Structure 1
Amino acid sequence: MTYCLAINTNEGLVFCSDSRTNAGFDNISTYTKMHSFVWPQDRFMVLLAAGNLATTQSVIKRLNADIDKSLQPNLRTVA
């Protein structure tokens, strides 16, 4: 089971997630389920992933590639 949580407090935002993945009875490993994209003084985005690990990895790879190639729009340029 995956746990991801975001809380809006008076002090700011809090993001939490677990990092355990389970690919069977005896195959337990870790992979971060919280990914942050930060551009100081501009914007930030936190992606909390719960679900298929391959899909999560594919989405993160695509988001980073779009930013690196300066494709329009991307997380850094979208309004």
Structure 2
Amino acid sequence: MRQKEELTMEYKYEYQNKNSFKNKFKSMFLSLPIQLTVVALLAGIVIYTALFSSYAPVHDALHDLRHGLMFIPCH
């Protein structure tokens, strides 16, 4: 009987450890709406910087694209 109790307690301990790991792992990441907002903001910053930059190396690399879009004057 005692051996059965030890196994049951061992199982409960192992189960609790797995759940606590899952909860910690889940809490490391933000909720989906916040993740999507962060991705949209970063994408917007990158696109804005690439298309409206007056920094010469960036401007020269994307010059044809800026003219091809026909709504971003560059000169």
**Same fold (TM > 0.5):** no
Flag the structure with higher helix content: 2
Higher RCO (C-alpha 8 Å, min separation 6): 1
TM class, shorter-chain normalised?
Answer: under 0.3
Flag the structure with higher strand content: 1
